[in-house]
Chain A
Amino acid sequence: MTRIASALRSFFMFYYEGFRTMSWWGKKVWIIIIIKLCIIFLILRLFFFSDFLNSNFNSDRERSNYVIEQLTGNK
């Protein structure tokens, strides 16, 4: 148990020290990464990119029927 705890502590400290001693460019790109991920997941995904079939139909059967209708229904 202590070996596992020690390994976990080393693992945590490795990342902690890495982030703590990061260079200016490292800090800057991390800020960009966080902003970018927020825009992608909290704005684009939530407000603009809902899955069309998942949000308009409740089951795979309905989705299948819709797509078959799309494939067979024209001309």
Chain B
Amino acid sequence: MIENIDLSLVNWSRAQFALTAIYHWLFVPLTLGLSFILAFMESIYVRTGDEIWKKMTKFWMTLFGINFAIGVATGLILEFEFGTNWSNYSWFVGDIFGAPLAVEGILAFFMESTFVAVMFFGWNKVGKKFHLASTWLVAIGANLSALWILVANSWMENPVGMVFNADTARNEMNSFRDVVLNPVAIDKFTHTVTSGFVLASVFVTGISAWFLLRHREEILAKKSIFIAGIFGLVSSLAVAITGDRSARTIAQVQPVKFAAMEALYDGKSEAGLTVIGVLTDSDDRIGEKKVHDVKMKIMIPKLLSIMTTGEGSGYVPGLKDLVNGNPEKGILSVREMMERGRYARQVLTDYKMAKEIGDDASVASLGAKFQEQDFINNYFRYFGYSFFDHPWQVIPSVPVTFYSFRIMVALGFFFILLFVLAIFFQRRDKLERHRWFLWISLISVPLAYLASESGWIVTEMGRQPWIIQNLMPVSVAVSNISTGAVQTTFILFAVLFTALLIAEVSIMSRQIKNGPKH
């Protein structure tokens, strides 16, 4: 039984998944963005016939290849973990998770076995235009591949387009369109891939800056900085726009996460956005959860209200409203949701019992409830709340969510400035004179990874305790296996991924030091 599962099993399973996902995400965003930078460079080569662009394409393609090869298949481990550590969840999501992942698997296989091979083996063997087409197809394919993963992930944050089958305990997709056009999926896809473009642009700018600091490959470095600067600036602005859209959607479908991102405990009209702040413990509590005060804060008045409601006077609910309820604003209390969820679970229990004793009349009437819109919208949608003992258990870690969000946003704006300066200095041919800028560009490479990982921490930590929003908490999703087994594989993964990362960094560093001639 779930109640017998040791909490340490849940925490170790979460830690293992987090470790795997964080390492996996070290490889993915560079692939997403660098593939497009290669496509731009090769397009200029094919158009102009200038050999420097071919040399540049081949150099950055080498780094792309190293990253792609080391990172490939690291995502498979996440799928293993679903089946082993998160079996209740895997069964409960049914084909909804399987369908997008199957599309992704097929797409990735064809892309990797054909077009990536043409990219690397096809120089001087296939026509220039065919080679260029392959490079573009790798870029488009890699990003489409990400789409399907993100569609599956978004369903967990906003489950739509499905109906629960009480006989099989699985959710069945009844609208592929709703699953794919899930507003969370659209925002997440655009925000995630454009953030990958920014990371790759920072990477290219940083490595190029290193060449300039060493007075090497100056033409290649300057042209690379120009391409990366333009692509990075456009992508950074897109990240800001899609991030804003994403925040509005989160405010609608995951209001607790949104309030945690702002450390907003008391709802208010004309709510300001906290740009910078330090969280300190207060004497106040929501249940057993500490309430934090935001000290030393810099705020932009009314911006949070405008972001979430479109009006400066709009009301933004705080964590206390969302937990205790606010009838004036039409917000249900978590206790009410727990009651409704328990009713839904009782219907499922009664249905199971009726089937066991062969009570056909009850089977028919109870089974029909899972098809009724009133039951689905007012009771089953709160199914997951039935597993909580206390309302405060729906609150995620506010400090982790609050600080990760600010790190991501601050670095996002920093990169806009970085790309503006990169383009400015490059166009005036003053890059070498501003060595401070070259050093900042180089130091920015790890910061791009930090921003990217912080974004995922906001997403995944901010939605705790849910594995599927409102339907299934993580404690219910976990398999009843031994904690020791999870600890063992955690250590194995830590060793494997660290070895892969060391291999990537060392091979890439050597290739960068060798430069494009080798």
Contacts and interface: CB of A to CB of B under 8 A. Distances in A.
A8 to B, nearest CB: 15
A14 interface: yes
Nearest to B511: A25
Contact of A53 (B2, B70, B72, B90): B90
A51 B167 contact: no
A52 B69 contact: no
Contact of A44 (B66, B69, B77, B169): B77
A10 B72 CA distance: 27
A52 B345 contact: no
A74 B386 CA distance: 10
Interface string B85-117: 101101110000000000000000000000001
A67 B121 contact: no
A3 interface: no
B87 A73 contact: no
Contact of B87 (A14, A17, A53): A53
B80 A71 contact: no
Nearest to A19: B121
Interface in A12-58: 14-15, 17-19, 23, 25-26, 28-30, 32-33, 36-37, 39-40, 44-45, 48-54
B382 to A, nearest CB: 14
B507 to A, nearest CB: 6
B488 interface: yes
Contact of B81 (A36, A49, A67): A49
A30 B500 CA distance: 13
A37 to B, nearest CB: 6
A74 to B, nearest CB: 4
B117 A15 contact: yes
A25 B508 CA distance: 9
A70 B352 contact: no
A1 interface: no
B332 interface: no
Nearest to B167: A64
B69 A67 contact: no
Among B85, B168, B169, the one with the most A-chain Cβ atoms within 10 Å of its Cβ is B169
B84 A25 contact: no
Among A23, A29, A33, the one with the most B-chain Cβ atoms within 10 Å of its Cβ is A29
Interface in B435-491: 476, 479-481, 485, 488-489
Contacts of B8: none
Given A52-B479, A64-B168, A73 B1 contact: yes
Contact of A32 (B70, B80, B166): B70
Contacts of B85: 52
Interface residues of B, number: 53
A75 B3 contact: yes
A33 B479 contact: no
A39 to B, nearest CB: 6
Contact count band on A: 35 or more
B219 interface: no
B257 interface: no
A15 B125 CA distance: 11
Nearest to A18: B121
A5 interface: no
A4 interface: no
A47 to B, nearest CB: 10
A73 B481 contact: no
B361 interface: no
Contact of A67 (B65, B169, B349, B507): B169
A29 B84 contact: no
A28 B83 contact: no
Contacts of B387: 74-75
A67 B99 CA distance: 21
A51 B476 contact: no
Contacts of B166: 68
B503 interface: yes
B76 interface: yes
Nearest to A72: B349
Given A15-B117, A53-B91, A48 B485 contact: yes
Interface in B45-87: 62, 65-66, 69-70, 72-73, 76-77, 80-81, 83-85, 87
Nearest to B89: A67
Interface of B: 1-3, 62, 65-66, 69-70, 72-73, 76-77, 80-81, 83-85, 87-88, 90-92, 117, 120-122, 125, 166-170, 345, 348-349, 352, 386-387, 389, 476, 479-481, 485, 488-489, 492, 496, 500, 503, 507, 510-511
State the 4 A-B residue pairs at the shortest beta-carbon distance, nearest first: A18-B121, A52-B87, A29-B69, A51-B83
30 contacts: A15-B121, A19-B121, A26-B120, A28-B507, A29-B65, A29-B69, A29-B70, A30-B69, A32-B503, A33-B69, A39-B496, A48-B489, A49-B81, A50-B84, A51-B84, A51-B87, A52-B83, A54-B83, A63-B91, A64-B167, A64-B170, A68-B352, A70-B88, A70-B476, A71-B92, A71-B476, A72-B348, A73-B2, A74-B3, A74-B387
Interface of A: 14-15, 17-19, 23, 25-26, 28-30, 32-33, 36-37, 39-40, 44-45, 48-54, 60, 63-64, 67-75
